[in-house]
Structure 1
Amino acid sequence: MTSTQPRTTPYRTGPAFAALLIAVLAFSLMQTMVVPALPDLQRTFDAGTTASSWVLSAFLLTASVATALLGRVGDMFGKRRVLLASLTVFATGTLLAALSTSIGMLIAARAVQGVGSAAFPLAFGIVRERFPRERVPVAIGLISSTFGIGFGVGLVIPGPIVDALGWEWIFWSGLIVIVLGIVAVAAFIEESPSRSPGSVDWVGVALLSAGVVALLIPISQGRSWGWGSPGVVGLFAAGAALLAAFVAVERRLAAPLIDIGLLCRPAVATSHVAALIIGFGMYGAFTLVPLLAQTPPAAGYGFGASVTESGLFMVPMAATMLIASPLAGRVGAAVGFRTPLVLACLVGVAGFAVYAGAHESEWALYAGSAVLGVGVGLAFAALANLVVGAVDPRQTGEATGINTIARTIGGSLGAQLSASIVASDTAPGAGLPAESGYTTAFVMSAIALGVAALAALAGPGRRERRAEDGERAGA
């Protein structure tokens, strides 16, 4: 494996790491802060359910494309430069969202915001290149956990903000964090020393973008269109065809957008498969737990919690993620990252088992969230470190970008299917989802994480990874 270029001057990793955390936190918060405000946005703009769902979908679509594209561009032209550009576009989209006067303008602004997703692969690459080797696993673990923490906290804090100041302040407060991130990155991050030469493969960009969009649109709209509708089936087929064409084109290029051979390495391939399944299994909790808590007790379950109160059930998850992620970095550095990844999946199974078997009491939801947070923290940290450790430093951006896309697609599909399962079974006379729907959805997530554990076990262990690295070095 190629090593990074030596540094000639001391690098202040503390301020640099804080800058990266602010940047990735800003993006992860903006993913979900809008979710609790959707009812207010519908009333404000007199929008229907389908239109308001695009406030989430537009962000997701552009984020998925930008993650892979800008991760690769950062490898080519410098990660600091591309990170600053990404955050600047992100800030512009957030400003436009705060000033929106129509649902169409807000959807467009959310699409612009999605460009901020590049913060994750670029941050991983900067840590890989600029930090002391012994600190890389823990740093990557903490950055990975920030994704989930911001996701969960973003469901908690908007309630008080909207009640006190209005929905616009979701974006004004987010803009403050983004600007802080821009200033911190500009002040404390040095430009990356390595480059992956080449030109931007615009044909690959078009095919990958169209393929990902064709997959994510039916995933996000499957409930409203119908999973068996011609639109959903046709888009899934088109997405598969476009991605197959993307692979065929990339194999023929000397400087592709994504190195297909890189994706075929056992450590990378199994990490991407595991990320897809883990995303599918875990993301259902982020949406279903608050909904369950808000259900009035008249339905025979639920606690009649407000938006703010229901978000508090996610706080234990954020707390345990902060503990688990650096732990995964230390354990993985000692014994290899396959072990914490398998453990993460098994802990996740236990968390969903608590949700499924004891969600009639508040303490069970809190306990399930705490257990699941350990699994999420271990998983995010282990996945990122597995990918980063398996590739050349010049390919970190593109490899981690694809891993993020896999987790996003899996999470989107899992969240939509979980919501569909809950909505498909209505309690007699109450007009509310039956309790059995939540149980089924939680069991489905537990099964998915069990499958993810098997996928993780199929990946190379530490000895196999060393042999693979030796073969690459000798090639």
Structure 2
Amino acid sequence: MNSSTPSSRLTGAFTALLLAVLSFSLLQTFVVPALPELRSDLAAGPTSASWVISAFLVSSSVGTVILGRLGDLFGRRRLMLVSLAVLGLGSLIAALSDSIGMLIAARAIQGLGAGTFPLAFGLVRETFRRERVPVVIGTISAVFGIGFGLGLVLPGPLIDAYGWPSLFWASLALVLIAAAAVVAFIHVPAQPVVGRIDWTGAVLLSVALVALLLAISQARVWGALWTILLIAVAAAAFAVFLRVEHRLASPLINFGVLRRRPVVAANLTALIIGLGMYGAFTLVPQLVQTPTETGYGFGATTTQAGLYLLPMAVTMLFAGPLAGRLGPKLGWTTTLVIACLIGSAGFALLAIGRDTGWAIATGAGVIGVGVGFAFSALANVVVAAVDPHQTGEATGVNTIVRTIGGAFGAQIAAAIVTSATLPGTSIPDPSGYTTAFTVSAIALVAAALAALIGRPAPDQAVTDR
């Protein structure tokens, strides 16, 4: 589309991309509040129930990079519809599941629809005028984070009223609406196929990512031996992958692009942000749902626990577009540093005000500003540093790196909280929450320092802006 494209068409395209990204991002955390009901209804143990999350995490890491690359080659609109179809199929199977195994398989299928995120960025560059791209990308990036937060807020009322299958029926409805909007409003010129898919590389990278994420997410269940073995498999598969990719004219991932300083900085920052933010996110509902008889916590219901995170979703909604406007003025590196420091302040408030409801809600709101700014800045740093035909693979890698950081963060946060319990109980000692939030605050300061690696030289400052 160009400057002559009707504004109504652009508004429709913008809405379609938002819905497509939201349809996937909600699924990151949508099942977390439903885990107790799932375990009860499907007669699943804690280990089996954890796979409802792990299966999605593992398959989404594979889907992100492969679908992003396919979109770069064969058309992002076409692959966006494929991604949404996969999401819809997974949601339908999940809604109809009558066993934990069937639900785990459905979640794995849903994860393969992760291409919506990198594909959306590529479609933004194809659809909107250059001066509008940062704001649109900022908003879409924020919606990715908003979905994560709303996935912890919305399920409570749905589960209370209609049971856990309603989560997946709602997901299917959203996917269908998003697909219809993409068909109606996203129209981009057909692009010639340049290069081919490196299926050998795709298999090797998939093995490496699956082994690594399984080692991280199942470490506390499977023990040290399996964890070490999986890490060894991941390292070997990735080493072979690197060797194969360097020999190909059309590799799955162009490592020349990934070596660019802004991209290196964005990926390192994304890894640390994922580690610092994602683990502690899931601790807030756990903290506020702790019975008051323990001497801390608020005895909140599933629905009430989600309300403590509502400020985070609200502030993300405004922070992403705002970052999209500030970034070209301040520079994306500066914006990313500010985002990390704001997020650090939010976690510090959680650590200090752990026993106060208003402090938890306010801290969540501050974190939302940081996350909204960070997601917007990260995406824009990567998009500005690569050519249009490399957008899918570059943003896909950035998403994977953040996913890996989040997997590490979740395990670290859980280990910290459960390292000490109240005497004679299995309930975590409250000091564990304080420590976990403090670690997140420190991690985000480290992320701010990592972002500075991407700061341009003085003669490149205009490019950064």
Shorter-normalised TM range: over 0.9
Cross-structure match for 2:180: 183
Cross-structure match for 1:89: 86
- Equivalent position to 2:250, from 255, 269, 282: 255
SS class of match (2:218): helix
Structure 1 range deviating more: 397-406 or 28-37: 28-37
The whole-number CA distance in structure 2 between the counterparts of 1:192 and 1:177 is: 26
Deviations 1:77-129 (A, max 9, x none): 00000100110111011101111111111111111111221110000000012
SS class of match (2:246): helix
Amino acid of the structure 2 residue aligned with 1:137: P
1:56-205 matches, cutoff 5 A: 56-191=53-188, 194=191, 197-205=194-202
SS class of match (1:425): coil
The whole-number CA distance in structure 2 between the counterparts of 1:242 and 1:69 is: 16
1:298 is displaced (CA, Å) by: 2.0
Q: Are residues 142 and 6 of structure 1, via their aligned partners in 2, closer, same or farther at CA, if it must alter by over 3 Å?
A: closer
The whole-number CA distance in structure 1 between the counterparts of 2:145 and 2:345 is: 18
Amino acid of the structure 2 residue aligned with 1:364: A
Cross-structure match for 2:314: 319
1:467 is displaced (CA, Å) by: 8.6
Amino acid of the structure 2 residue aligned with 1:359: R
1:464 is displaced (CA, Å) by: 5.7
1:409-420 matches, cutoff 5 A: 409-420=404-415
The whole-number CA distance in structure 1 between the counterparts of 2:192 and 2:407 is: 33
Q: Are residues 466 and 390 of structure 1, via their aligned partners in 2, closer, same or farther at CA, if it must alter by over 3 Å?
A: farther
Q: Are residues 467 and 264 of structure 1, via their aligned partners in 2, closer, same or farther at CA, if it must alter by over 3 Å?
A: farther
Structure 1 range deviating more: 187-196 or 274-283: 187-196
- Equivalent position to 1:361, from 356, 362, 384: 356
Q: Are residues 412 and 55 of structure 1, via their aligned partners in 2, closer, same or farther at CA, if it must alter by over 3 Å?
A: same
The whole-number CA distance in structure 2 between the counterparts of 1:319 and 1:190 is: 31
Q: Are residues 434 and 203 of structure 1, via their aligned partners in 2, closer, same or farther at CA, if it must alter by over 3 Å?
A: same
Cross-structure match for 1:36: 33
Report whether the alignment pairs 1:459 with 2:454. Answer: yes
Amino acid of the structure 2 residue aligned with 1:138: V
Cross-structure match for 1:473: none
1:335 is displaced (CA, Å) by: 2.5
SS class of match (2:98): coil
The whole-number CA distance in structure 1 between the counterparts of 2:317 and 2:128 is: 20
Report whether the alignment pairs 1:208 with 2:205. Answer: yes
Structure 1 range deviating more: 7-16 or 273-282: 7-16
Extract unaligned runs of 5+ from structure 1: 470-475
Report whether the alignment pairs 1:269 with 2:233. Answer: no
Cross-structure match for 1:218: 215
Cross-structure match for 2:386: 391
1:240 is displaced (CA, Å) by: 2.1
Structure 1 range deviating more: 65-74 or 129-138: 129-138
The whole-number CA distance in structure 1 between the counterparts of 2:76 and 2:204 is: 24
1:461 is displaced (CA, Å) by: 2.7
Report whether the alignment pairs 1:309 with 2:309. Answer: no
1:196 is displaced (CA, Å) by: 6.1
Amino acid of the structure 1 residue aligned with 2:188: E
- Equivalent position to 2:368, from 370, 373, 376: 373
- Equivalent position to 1:442, from 437, 441, 449: 437
1:371 is displaced (CA, Å) by: 0.8
Deviations 1:339-358 (A, max 9, x none): 11000111111111111111
Task: State percent identity of aligned pairs.
Answer: 58
1:40 is displaced (CA, Å) by: 1.0
Extract unaligned runs of 5+ from structure 2: none
The whole-number CA distance in structure 2 between the counterparts of 1:34 and 1:74 is: 28
Amino acid of the structure 2 residue aligned with 1:313: Y
1:233-244 matches, cutoff 5 A: 233-244=228-239
Structure 1 range deviating more: 453-462 or 135-144: 453-462
CA contact 1:129–1:193 (8 Å) conserved in 2: no
SS class of match (1:310): helix
Amino acid of the structure 2 residue aligned with 1:63: S
Deviations 1:174-210 (A, max 9, x none): 1100000010001100135555611110111011100
Structure 1 range deviating more: 239-248 or 451-460: 239-248
Structure 1 range deviating more: 98-107 or 184-193: 184-193
1:460 is displaced (CA, Å) by: 2.9
The whole-number CA distance in structure 1 between the counterparts of 2:304 and 2:220 is: 27
Q: Are residues 355 and 81 of structure 1, via their aligned partners in 2, closer, same or farther at CA, if it must alter by over 3 Å?
A: same
Report whether the alignment pairs 1:425 with 2:420. Answer: yes
The whole-number CA distance in structure 1 between the counterparts of 2:91 and 2:278 is: 24
Q: Are residues 402 and 370 of structure 1, via their aligned partners in 2, closer, same or farther at CA, if it must alter by over 3 Å?
A: same
The whole-number CA distance in structure 2 between the counterparts of 1:41 and 1:243 is: 35
SS class of match (1:252): coil
Q: CA RMSD in A?
A: 1.7
Structure 1 range deviating more: 454-463 or 407-416: 454-463
1:319 is displaced (CA, Å) by: 1.1
Report the TM-score, using the length of structure 1 for normalisation: 0.94
The whole-number CA distance in structure 2 between the counterparts of 1:109 and 1:465 is: 47
